[in-house]
Structure 1
Amino acid sequence: MISIKQLSKSFKTKDQTVQAVDNVSLNIEKGDIFGVIGYSGAGKSTFVRLINRLEDPTDGEIILNGQDMTDLSKSQLRLERQKIGMIFQHFNLLWSRTVYENVAFPLEIAGVPKAERESQVLELIELVGLKGREQSYPSQLSGGQKQRVGIARSLANDPKVLLCDEATSALDPETTDDILDLLVSINEKLDLTIILITHEMHVIQKICHRVAVMEQGTVVEQGDVLDVFMNPQSKTTKRFVQQLNPQEGSVDELKEFITSDDHSEVVKLHFVGHNAKRALISDVSKQFDINVNILQGSISPTQEGAYGTLYVEFQGEPETIESVMNYVMSTGVEVEVIKHVE
């Protein structure tokens, strides 16, 4: 487990002191893919650079691999950093070196014998899907291939933790998904703990188990991805969740789709996990004397299961509507009454 306690970082400028990270505390379990999301200036990139001491913290503790990273000497820190891989938004490859030579570079620095180095490098290149491109130079690769080289290089010293600082921000959507799939595969094959910094909620949704939301240097919300998506508490989190369902309108925007002049209820149904696959509306229509007007809906997959929302109008007698909502709740689907329509 990685334990981060009351971590802070301030920068002094000529005119003021900037608090980039402010009293952040997080626990990250071994083998997790942990996302840290925030808008530009939230402090997330500074935060990730504190973990491997590319930046020195002003205060706090970083317990990693049983060591407090803030207490290490320079020589001890060099050794501990070998257990932490890092990939970057703009790849940071050596442009005068081939794919093979880029991946081999950390092993050269670590003094790994040439024969052993060769087998490790070829294995890593195959792991990231670049077999056959060993002698290519970065200028001959696509953006996604360059990031695969960066990932292979970051794994060269067999790290226990992989830090990803906006690793997909420079990539198109299809290539982003390919890189995220690769990270999930590596996480499973190597039991590697991944800390992923991003400003894209799609990235969190697709591969993360847990997430922390940062704003102005602080963590304003954290928890399991599914819980945070279903019940966002902070204003910032709600804005990020809205990115995934931009079509989700307000009640006023839904009014034009409400058809009944009789008594009815407009409700929002929350589906989680296996409930997202239920034929619930069909069941309701068969079992109750009621009309169901589907107003709007969406479903999104996450690493912890699918979740979805569905806005519906139930049209019928009040007693029947009440029975329907009790039935829906009994199936494990959360019901939120949006508006009584008279």
Structure 2
Amino acid sequence: MISIEGLSKVFTSNKSSVTAVESLDLNINDGDIFGVIGYSGAGKSTFVRLLNRLEEPTGGSIKINNEDITAMTARQLRIARQDIGMIFQHFNLLWSRTVEDNIAFPLEISGVAKLDRQKRVQELIDLVGLSGKEKAYPSQLSGGQKQRVGIARALANNPKVLLCDEATSALDPETTNSILDLLVDINKQFGLTIILITHEMHVIRKICNHVAVMESGKVVEQGDVMDVFLHPRQHVTKKFVEQVMGNGEEDENIRDITEAYTEGKIVRLHFIGETTNQALISQLAKKYEVEINILQGKITQTQAGAYGTLIVQIAGNELDEAVRYIKEKSSVEMEVIQNAK
């Protein structure tokens, strides 16, 4: 368990001070993949650097497995950091060292014997899919391969927590997906707690179980990823959800489409989890005397399951009965967009 209470960071200069993180409270469960999302300047990168005291907090406490990181001496912190791995947006590799030497570096610092180092390094190279690249230098690697080296290096000392600071934002979409898949595999294999900082909602959607949304140094919304997708409360959260679901553009299109439909109701259906695979539309058509026109739809995947939206026109003699039937489906939410004119 990671417990963060009242965490704050104020940067000061001779003439001014800037609050980067303000009174932040979070609890992160062991083995979770926890996302922290925000736009540039929200304080998220400062927050993640506070967790291992690469930045010194101005106030508050950080406890990892009941150990107060903020109260540790420099010597205690050096030992504690072996349990906290970190990967970076721009890889932070040592360019004069080969792949295997980059991965071995934290083991050298920890005083691990050479033979044990070599064994551990090869295990990690195999784990991250870099077999055959042991002697390559960073300049000879693709962006995705460099990040795999960064992940292997972060795992060298068998950490309990992995911090990822914009780890995929310098990568193309296909490479991003492969890195995210690797992080999920690592989480499942080792029960590693992963804290992932990003400004991209599709990253949160793909691998995170829980998410906190930051704005102006504060957590303004947090919860289960599926719940945040379905019921975003803050304006900034709604903007992030639109990155994936496209609701803003969709609403513009629907206003144009619905002008041609003057009967019945036009509704937006939200399907959650297993219900995305159920034949609700065909069930309605068979069960009730209604006509159904599908106007628009989209399904996306989260770690908690599928989430889909479908916009349909329903008209006919048994319209009210069909609507009641939909409302009785506990995992299908219905929003009426337009009634008959």
What CA distance in whole angstroms lies between the structure 2 residues aligned with 1:242 and 1:261?
28
Q: CA deviation at 1:278?
A: 1.0
What CA distance in whole angstroms lies between the structure 1 residues aligned with 2:176 and 2:251?
34
Q: CA deviation at 1:15?
A: 2.7
What CA distance in whole angstroms lies between the structure 2 residues aligned with 1:260 and 1:129?
54
State the identity as a percent.
60
Alignment of 1:199-214 (within 5 A): 199-214=199-214
Alignment of 1:144-159 (within 5 A): 144-159=144-159
Alignment of 1:293-312 (within 5 A): 293-312=293-312
Alignment of 1:307-326 (within 5 A): 307-317=307-317, 320-326=318-324
What CA distance in whole angstroms lies between the structure 2 residues aligned with 1:125 and 1:304?
30
Report the 3-state secondary structure (helix = DSSP H, G, I; strand = E; otherwise coil) of the residue aligned with 1:15: coil
Q: Deviations over 1:158-200 (max 9, x none)?
A: 0000000000011000000000000000000111000000000
Q: CA deviation at 1:132?
A: 1.2
Partner of 2:46: 46
What CA distance in whole angstroms lies between the structure 1 residues aligned with 2:233 and 2:174?
31
Partner of 1:167: 167
Q: Deviations over 1:295-331 (max 9, x none)?
A: 21111100010111111111124xx222111111222
CA 1:339–1:14 in 2, change beyond 3 Å: closer, same or farther? farther
Letter in 2 for 1:139: S
Partner of 2:22: 22
Letter in 2 for 1:24: L
Q: Which runs of 5+ in 1 are unaligned?
A: none
Partner of 2:340: 341
Q: CA deviation at 1:215?
A: 0.3
What CA distance in whole angstroms lies between the structure 2 residues aligned with 1:188 and 1:166?
21
Report the 3-state secondary structure (helix = DSSP H, G, I; strand = E; otherwise coil) of the residue aligned with 1:105: helix
Q: CA deviation at 1:246?
A: 2.3
Q: CA deviation at 1:339?
A: 2.1
Partner of 2:272: 272
Q: Runs ≥4 in structure 1, deviation > 6 angstroms?
A: none
Q: Deviations over 1:219-253 (max 9, x none)?
A: 01000000000110000000000011226546563
Report the 3-state secondary structure (helix = DSSP H, G, I; strand = E; otherwise coil) of the residue aligned with 1:301: strand
Letter in 2 for 1:151: I
Q: Out of 306, 326, 329, which is 1:331 matched to? A: 329
Instruction: Output the aligned Cα RMSD.
Output: 1.2
Alignment of 1:1-342 (within 5 A): 1-246=1-246, 249=249, 251=251, 253-258=253-258, 259-262=260-263, 264-317=264-317, 320-332=318-330, 333-342=332-341
Letter in 2 for 1:171: L
Q: Which runs of 5+ in 2 are unaligned?
A: none
Q: Deviations over 1:4-42 (max 9, x none)?
A: 111111111333211100111011000000000000000
Q: Deviations over 1:261-311 (max 9, x none)?
A: 33x111111110001111111111111111112121111100010111111
Q: CA deviation at 1:341?
A: 2.4
Q: CA deviation at 1:257?
A: 2.4
Report the 3-state secondary structure (helix = DSSP H, G, I; strand = E; otherwise coil) of the residue aligned with 2:302: coil
What CA distance in whole angstroms lies between the structure 2 residues aligned with 1:241 and 1:51?
27
Equivalent pairs counted in the alignment come to 339
What CA distance in whole angstroms lies between the structure 2 residues aligned with 1:67 and 1:247?
43
Report the 3-state secondary structure (helix = DSSP H, G, I; strand = E; otherwise coil) of the residue aligned with 1:306: strand
Report the 3-state secondary structure (helix = DSSP H, G, I; strand = E; otherwise coil) of the residue aligned with 1:133: coil
User: Are the equivalent residues in 2 in contact too, given 1:31–1:193 (CA < 8 A)?
Assistant: yes
Report the 3-state secondary structure (helix = DSSP H, G, I; strand = E; otherwise coil) of the residue aligned with 1:82: helix
CA 1:181–1:198 in 2, change beyond 3 Å: closer, same or farther? same
User: Are the equivalent residues in 2 in contact too, given 1:251–1:338 (CA < 8 A)?
Assistant: no
Letter in 2 for 1:103: I
What CA distance in whole angstroms lies between the structure 2 residues aligned with 1:181 and 1:247?
26
Letter in 2 for 1:159: P
Q: TM-score, normalised by structure 1?
A: 0.97
Report the 3-state secondary structure (helix = DSSP H, G, I; strand = E; otherwise coil) of the residue aligned with 2:334: strand
What CA distance in whole angstroms lies between the structure 2 residues aligned with 1:198 and 1:134?
29
Letter in 2 for 1:331: K
- Greater mean alpha carbon deviation, residues 289-298 or residues 109-118: 289-298
User: Are the equivalent residues in 2 in contact too, given 1:3–1:27 (CA < 8 A)?
Assistant: yes
User: Are the equivalent residues in 2 in contact too, given 1:85–1:159 (CA < 8 A)?
Assistant: yes
Q: TM-score, normalised by structure 2?
A: 0.97
